[in-house]
Structure 1
Amino acid sequence: MNKSEIKEFLDSKVEEYNNQKFVESDPIQIPHRFNIKEDIEIASFLTATIAWGNRKMIIKNADKMMQLFDHAPFDFVMNHSELDLSNLNGFVHRTFNAEDLKYFIKALRHIYLHHGGLESIFNKNASASSMQPAIHEFKHTFFSIAHPSRTLKHVGDPNKGSAAKRLNMMLRWLVRQDNAGVDFGIWTKIPTSILSCPLDVHSGNVARKLGLLKRKQNDAKALFELDSALRKLDPNDPVKYDFALFGLGVFEGF
């Protein structure tokens, strides 16, 4: 396929998957349960953090987190006691455990109290062409208070070669707004043109088969290559193609 044929093909797949039916089987259903901005962004961040592995298990464990927060994540973050944190004992999703979750709660509280919240950090540190510098600065801020060394691995850093798939996915959820009923678009100061595709094994493999990506590793360099290709297809909203690449890989075995 030539460039125009690839664009036409992927645009049709975006239309096929970017609708409310997609929400039913995707982890984004968790933040969709909330109406308050801070609840949505905290639920998005925590759900995206554990978004690797089996999708049903991701949704199950993200739902368990929300239950532990009495379905009020922002209130839990801001007003938790040590007893509340002890109630998180036993939580585990693959290598993300209760110790990690407790730190995430403390770090989020610090961010809302001292840095104006999640959105403020990403707004302040976005570059003119990419959100990857903002992701790097977010990690620096997130771990600026005393933290377990084991927890560092749960937040990707583009400056250390990570594709930061989970944070890029969270940014898609919170920044994109196309009225399709999937992404929220509640962070309005960041342009969709600088978002990056959440690069994982599925989207990476499909991108390679379509000739959009040559690099074999799913790392920061591959993300830059994929971003460059997708921005040629749609300069204003390149990350919409995440729906196509992911859908083709997961649902169609492309």
Structure 2
Amino acid sequence: MDSGLKEFLDKKAAQYEQAGFIKDDPICIPHRFTKKQDIEIAGFFAAILAWGNRKSIINSCDRLLHGMDHAPYDFIMNFEESDLRPFVNFAHRTFNATDLFHFFDFLRWHYRDRGAATLETAFTAFMQKDDENVEQALTGFHYSFFNEKLFPDFPRRTVKHIASPAKKSACKRLNMFLRWMVRSNKKGVDFGIWKNIQPSQLVCPLDVHVERVAKHFQLLQRIPNDWQAAVELTRNLKQLDAKDPVKYDFALFGLGVIEKY
């Protein structure tokens, strides 16, 4: 891999992975919290709702958190039927209250009924320590989220809101969420609160901006924006930094969105 490209992208990654990046990005939502479970839940919803312009994403997350009294973990652990009333008209793009209520049900099952201390285990239960990447974690998470034995009446329309590599999706939003939770917080942007997935196992979130810039630098050849493309890009980024390839998400996104590459 061209050493000049590595030097350039390292510089851009450092430029954009700064605290100033937070306020205009959906990652600002989990940054409002300090409790691990609050960060996980707020971050999960912020990532799932992360399509459309960033201002509308943040506004939708604001409405969601307001309905939870800005205490997402406490809400998930204790909500009753009457507590759902504030959300009956909730909508963000094609995500609506029907979808939201299943998300609540899954999170309540995971944290309260299953007794899990962290959302991380909903992913790591399906992967091995030596897996190349999080493919099995994401595939298993999707299966668990729509497990008919646990949720026999889950709304079929909601399936489209949790991506899966098994359906060939690039899983951009879930990969972004995992980046937030796994990568080190030393720059003050990502959180680094999950320790059983390694940064080297993350897959780069592949949106249209990252895809365009990656192709510009010949880091991606595959045409469809799918799981194989996300893996191809990540493998090439590992040639630049084997331990932390997804740090270049900051470089590619910044070059695409801010510098209009």
Q: What TM-score do you get using the length of structure 1 for normalisation?
A: 0.97
Q: Which amino acid aligns with 1:6?
A: L
Q: Which moved more, 1:116-125 or 1:198-207?
A: 116-125
For this pair of structures, how many residues does the alignment match?
A: 253
Q: Which amino acid aligns with 2:175?
A: N
For the pair 1:221 / 2:228, whether they are aligned, the reply is yes
For the pair 1:200 / 2:203, whether they are aligned, the reply is no
For the pair 1:98 / 2:97, whether they are aligned, the reply is yes
1:139 to 138, 142, 146: 142
**Structure 2 residue aligned with 1:148:** 155
In the TM superposition, what is the alpha-carbon distance from 1:103 to its structure 2 partner? Answer: 1.0
- Percent of aligned pairs sharing the same letter: 51
List aligned pairs for 1:47-86, cutoff 5 A: 47-86=46-85
Which sections of structure 1, spanning at least 5 residues, go unmatched? none
**Structure 2 residue aligned with 1:118:** 119
2:189 to 155, 172, 182: 182
In the TM superposition, what is the alpha-carbon distance from 1:63 to its structure 2 partner? Answer: 1.3
**Structure 1 residue aligned with 2:174:** 167
Q: Which amino acid aligns with 1:186?
A: I
Take 1:178 and 1:3, find their aligned partners in 2: how far apart are those partners?
Answer: 28
In the TM superposition, what is the alpha-carbon distance from 1:118 to its structure 2 partner? Answer: 1.6
Take 1:72 and 1:3, find their aligned partners in 2: how far apart are those partners?
Answer: 47
**Structure 1 residue aligned with 2:15:** 16
- Give the secondary-structure state (helix, strand or coil) at the position aligned to 1:163: coil
For the pair 1:130 / 2:133, whether they are aligned, the reply is yes
Once the two structures are superposed, residues 188-245 of structure 1 have per-residue CA deviations (whole angstroms, 9 ceiling, x without a partner) of 1211000011111010111001100011221011011111101111000001000001
- Give the secondary-structure state (helix, strand or coil) at the position aligned to 2:235: helix
**Structure 2 residue aligned with 1:250:** 257
- Give the secondary-structure state (helix, strand or coil) at the position aligned to 1:87: helix
User: For the aligned residues, what is the CA RMSD?
Assistant: 1.1
Which sections of structure 2, spanning at least 5 residues, go unmatched? none
**Structure 2 residue aligned with 1:27:** 26
Take 1:123 and 1:161, find their aligned partners in 2: how far apart are those partners?
Answer: 20
Once the two structures are superposed, residues 97-134 of structure 1 have per-residue CA deviations (whole angstroms, 9 ceiling, x without a partner) of 11111110111111122262421122222342111110
**Structure 1 residue aligned with 2:244:** 237
In the TM superposition, what is the alpha-carbon distance from 1:71 to its structure 2 partner? Answer: 0.3
In the TM superposition, what is the alpha-carbon distance from 1:184 to its structure 2 partner? Answer: 0.3
